[in-house]
Amino acid sequence: MAEQIIPRWVKDIKRFINIKSQFILSGNIRDIYPFYNQEKVVPLQLKFYMMESLQTEGFRYFISYDPIDGFSLAQNVTPESEKEVAGFFYDNFGITFKDGYFACSIVKAFDYIKKMVEFKDSFIAVFVEFASRITISSSSLSVEEKDFFSSFLKLSYTAFPHISEKDRSPKFNPIFWICDKENDFPSWFYVNNPRIRQVNISRPDFMMRKPFITIVSKAIKGFNECDPGLKRELVNIFSEATEGMYNSDIMAITQLARREGLEFDKVAEAVRRYKIGVAEDPWARLDKQKIKNARAHIENRIKGQPQAITKALDVIKRSVTGLSGAAHSKNSGKPRGVLFLAGPTGTGKTELAKAVTELIFGDERAYIRFDMSEFAAEHSDQRLLGAPPGYVGYDAGGELTNAIREKPFSVVLFDEIEKAHSKILDKFLQILEDGRLTDGSGNTVYFSESIIIFTSNLGIYNQNGSGNKTLNVDPQMPFGEVEAKVREQIDKYFKLNLGRPEILNRIGDNIIVFDFIREKVASEIFDKIIDNILARLLDHNGIKLVLPQQIRSEICRVCVSDLTNGGRGIGNRIETVFLNPLSRALFDMLIDRGDEDGSITELSVRSFSEDNGVYSIEI
């Protein structure tokens, strides 16, 4: 016989049933609630689950009211007992059920409910469903709404517990208000009211999910044939993987597993499909040989950052093998990978994010990017997650949650994370720890198939009390010192400035510090950009441009003389010093493409000069 598992909130109600005359039930009110009967589990709606629970306390009659249909019987009855129960409410309160309902306005309903609360011969429980819909706004009540709640406020004080012939333990005939959230009611109705108990119905925790899963999993193929040890392990996997979900989600997962022919040893895959909504796993189809040989390709794109590339590839390989988060939980729902890229500007942080995206998805533009400087305002988190119901933009949803719902297999880049409001940083705790976020509509999106990349310039400057900045690191320092100083400032920022050490803990050892662009590396970056320009000129314009080494070296000297802005600064200087004068010279020569027959026009740079900051090239 299955043991009856009693949720904490039910125990709370039973404890106060002889002290409180009314209860406000909010939170997880639309779920199903497992009632264990023999070796079976019966999933029940809230009011029916409450009925089964209260019967053990001596309650015999149950009735429900909602603003749409009026009164209805709130109990599972046989045709024989239905006649007796309906007769009870007719004989004592004049309620006549037609097709199971008795239509009644909310004003008139109070008179009936008051009589039930004051009835002394039997214990009756009254459920008021969809109570959040009784008022348009709890802060701006109509006269009728105010009178309605005032009447029930008075009733909460005038009601008294009583005994019955069969039960000599005094109890109230309680009213259970079932609402979305308690502040859907006027605060003066329940705040500091000793007769009203507020009860939050939480989502099922691990200890509540596990026995439910143990029973409902019998419907999944292969459950009964499992070795007992493996069965216990798989039940634990199922229970851990459904953290934060509802009982109704668990039922849906078992149905999905049956429909798609997944056996019980594949239950983790059933949970994944339910969360993400797709059967295919792109991570399983990745070309592992391509990732194994990716270092040379990435080093060609990002110069002078061997340590950063090594650490980034380690995270990617861990993501592909599915071991992300395995150190914390065998069935972690954490993101596939997390990278926190720090260091001076123009050193390749964003370029590495693009390279990772291209490596995984074949297109460097496939990542989802958020410029966090746009989220500096306190309430800008609503742009990411969506506005709450009733606020402007609610229907549009959140930019981040919408993007992940559409593309769960993604690289998500949060650029310059330190510029975001600290309130937004709190949201990353849930992403990094649980791999999920709930939007303003109450829908949950999952990041378990995503790679999260943060970029930051933290640690490059120190800021004094007056707001003045001084360099914390400079190019004259060896990389080891740069890395240590940047890490120290990042640590200080999260622990002392923000007071959020837990965010740093979630990022873990995935902080990757980029080095300054050194002189030798600067020349490599220059050569790479120049070669790209010459190759593009040949491919798109049919022009083979010869750049003599002496002139090339002179242009390089000018372009790498100031490395303050890193590789991006070199690119900007090349545009000014070489690309603009080259375009001007070609335009003046009226050269567009090679001959129409596909032949190549070969040209040579004859000289390079500068006059008052204006650079010129002679061809």
pLDDT over 90 (residue 406): no
Range of the domain at 231: 206-275
In Å, what is the CA distance from 522 to each residue of 303, 321, 572? 8, 35, 13
Please identify, among 471, 504, 537, the residue that sits at the C-terminal boundary of a domain. Answer: 504
* pLDDT, tens digit, 9 for 90 and up, residues 347-394: 999 999 999 888 888 888 878 999 999 988 888 888 888 766 555 555
CATH number (domain holding residue 157) = 3.40.50
Q: Give the whole-angstrom CA distance, residue 282 versus residue 278.
A: 10
Convert the pLDDT of each residue in 232-282 to its tens digit.
999 999 999 998 899 999 999 999 999 999 999 999 999 989 988 876 667
Same-domain pairing of 214 and 356: no
The residues facing 371 across adjacent strands are: 415
Q: Is pLDDT of 95 > 70? A: yes
Q: Is 420 part of a structural domain of the chain?
A: yes
Q: Which residues contact 213 (CB under 8 A, 6 or more apart)?
A: 235, 238, 239, 242, 250
The token duo for 68 is 């749409």
Are 384 and 476 members of one domain? yes
Range name among 75-79, 293-297, 307-311, 326-330 with the lowest pLDDT average: 326-330
Do residues 154 and 89 touch, judged by C-beta distance below 8 A?
Answer: no
Task: Provide the domain count of the chain.
Answer: 4
Whether 195 and 226 share a structural domain = no
Residues in contact with 141: Cβ distance below 8 Å, sequence separation at least 6, in sequence order: 135, 149, 186
Same domain, 335 and 249: no
Distance between CA 256 and CA 252 in Å, rounded? 6
Both 179 and 221 in a single domain?
no
Whether residue 170 is found in the same domain as residue 157: yes
Separation CA 190–CA 180 (nearest Å): 15
Query: How far is 5 from 212, CA to CA, in rounded Å?
Result: 9
DSSP class of residue 171 equals B
- Band of pLDDT at residue 1, cut at 50, 70 and 90: very low
- Boundary (domain end) residue, out of 139, 167, 201: 201
Rounded CA-CA distance 528/523 in Å is 9
57 and 183 within one domain? yes
Task: Return d(Cα 181, Cα 28) in angstroms, integer.
Answer: 9
434 with 317: CB under 8 angstroms? Answer: no
Which distant-in-sequence residues (6+ apart) come within 8 Å of 59 by Cβ?
A: 51, 123, 124, 125, 171
Please give the structure tokens belonging to residue 224: 């009964």
pLDDT at position 412 = 93
Tokens coding 103: 């239509």
Is the residue at 513 inside a domain?
no
Residue 240 and residue 206 in contact, taking contact as beta carbons nearer than 8 Å: yes
Do 311 and 233 fall into the same domain? no
pLDDT band at residue 79 under the 50/70/90 scheme: low
Same domain flag for 41 and 165: yes
| Dist CA 309 CA 294 (whole Å) | 10
Same domain, 85 and 146: yes
pLDDT at 8 over 80: yes
Report the sign of the C-alpha dihedral through residues 250, 254, 256, 257, in that order. Answer: positive
Output the domain CATH number for residue 565: 1.10.8.60
Note whether 35 and 180 are same-domain residues: yes
CATH of residue 222's domain is 1.10.8
Residue-wise pLDDT for 469-524, tens only, equals 888 998 889 999 999 999 999 999 999 888 889 989 989 889 999 999 998 899 99
- Per-residue pLDDT tens digits for 594-607: 555 567 888 999 99
Q: For residues 173 and 204, what is the distance between their CA atoms, to the nearest angstrom? A: 28
What is the average pLDDT value for the chain, to the nearest integer? Answer: 88
Query: Is 130 within a domain?
Result: yes
Would you state the pLDDT for residue 391? Answer: 59
| CATH at residue 432 | 3.40.50.300
Q: Give the range among 177-181, 389-393, 450-454 with minimum mean pLDDT.
A: 389-393
252/195 same-domain check: no
Question: Is residue 510 in some structural domain?
Answer: no
Tokens 């009870």: give the residue.
88
The last residue of a domain, from among 217, 244, 275: 275
**Within the chain, what is the greatest distance between any pair of CA atoms?**
112
pLDDT at 456: 93
Helix (H) or strand (E) holding 363: none
In a domain, 1, yes or no: no
Tokens 């829908």 belong to 443
